[in-house]
Amino acid sequence: MRNLTSFPAPPTPPPATPRPTLIRIAGANKTFALPKGGDFHAVRDVTLEVREGDIFGLIGKSGAGKSTLLRLFNLLERPDSGTVTVDGRELTALRKNELRDARRNIGMIFQQFNLLQNATVFDNVAFPLRIHGGMNAEQVAARVADCLALVELGDKADSYPAQLSGGQKQRVAIARALASGPAVLLCDEPTSALDAETTRALLGTLQDINQRLDVTIVIVSHELSVLGEICNRVAVIEDGAVAEQFDLADTSAVRKTVLGRELAQHSADIIEAQARKERAHA
């Protein structure tokens, strides 16, 4: 389990050589049975790799298959074929109890927060720790306090979700997802229910978690501005397949898809605005 109390030094620049692969999806397919018969092919022969330390974005139109693909990363959806490997463990080959254990290494947050409404903030964050066992009440309390401090909600431990703003609810969800010290955080449209200012703050929290705790993040969004702001690498999903994937810092290559081109332009604008700001301060 990762230690949240002693933060390492502030963000270091990305290393020149790519870091090792942390997540590998290979040849994954997922179909759903349709109520009136026949199948819908939601994920088509997807192969992709997420490196340690990435903030990896999945972008695509509504219905493209982004959420279904994300749910393959922790086997909330099991692929019909193909493999999913996270942090050296092939999830698709694990037995049920082994999978439960492996999932402690993969946190997840959702658009609608999915908090327990009748439990306090403290109990929401403590929930996964109590379920998995192995910690006494004092250890659970210390861990919950660390996680709430991380998302700056130390003063809300006794509140109920209904007493919180949308941004605060999502930060509780992040604290809960990080409670078991995962290497990976999956984010399914985490800012869709939030206003622009709260979205910016939440993206800052995710970046902070990525840089200070070295948690690898995979984020689904249909908003270019969200992915352009925080991702270093993205995959464009069309009709359940990866249409293209690229590093956002690589502004030289021509992008194949409309979304890819729009995203590349968006990041070029961000880089240019940043450079202008630095020149003005020089």
Ligand X SMILES: Nc1ncnc2c1ncn2[C@@H]1O[C@H](COP(=O)(O)OP(=O)(O)OP(=O)(O)O)[C@@H](O)[C@H]1O
Residue 85: both structure tokens together: 């490997």
SS3 32: strand
Question: Measured from the CB of residue 54, what is the shortest distance to ligand X in angstroms?
Answer: 20
Going by C-alpha positions, the residue among 80, 59, 33 that lies closest to residue 238 is 59
SS3 244: strand
Q: Kindly tell me which of 59 and 144 has the beta carbon lying closer to ligand X.
A: 59
Question: Measured from the CB of residue 121, what is the shortest distance to ligand X in angstroms?
Answer: 27
Q: Kindly tell me which of 41 and 200 has the beta carbon lying closer to ligand X.
A: 41
Question: Measured from the CB of residue 60, what is the shortest distance to ligand X in angstroms?
Answer: 5
Give the Cα separation of 59 and 57 in Å (integer).
Answer: 6
User: What kind and span of H or E run contains 48?
Assistant: strand 39-51
Taking each continuous run of H as one helix and of E as one strand, the counts in the chain are: 8, 10
Q: Kindly tell me which of 87 and 238 has the beta carbon lying closer to ligand X.
A: 238
Residue 277: both structure tokens together: 């700001």
Going by C-alpha positions, the residue among 38, 193, 61 that lies closest to residue 114 is 193
The Cα-based distances of 30 to 66, 132, 219 in angstroms read 12, 29, 19
Question: Measured from the CB of residue 114, what is the shortest distance to ligand X in angstroms?
Answer: 15
For 273, residues 6+ apart whose C-beta sits below 8 A from its C-beta are none
Report the C-alpha dihedral over residues 247, 250, 254, 259, rounded to 10 degrees: 40
Give the Cα separation of 17 and 137 in Å (integer).
Answer: 43
Question: Measured from the CB of residue 190, what is the shortest distance to ligand X in angstroms?
Answer: 13
Q: Kindly tell me which of 248 and 259 has the beta carbon lying closer to ligand X.
A: 259
Binding site for ligand X (CB under 6 A): 32, 40, 42, 60, 62-68, 222
Q: Kindly tell me which of 42 and 241 has the beta carbon lying closer to ligand X.
A: 42
Question: Measured from the CB of residue 262, what is the shortest distance to ligand X in angstroms?
Answer: 16
Q: Kindly tell me which of 7 and 40 has the beta carbon lying closer to ligand X.
A: 40
Question: Measured from the CB of residue 225, what is the shortest distance to ligand X in angstroms?
Answer: 15
User: Within 10 A of 194 (CB to CB), how many other CB atoms are there?
Assistant: 19
Q: Kindly tell me which of 31 and 207 has the beta carbon lying closer to ligand X.
A: 31
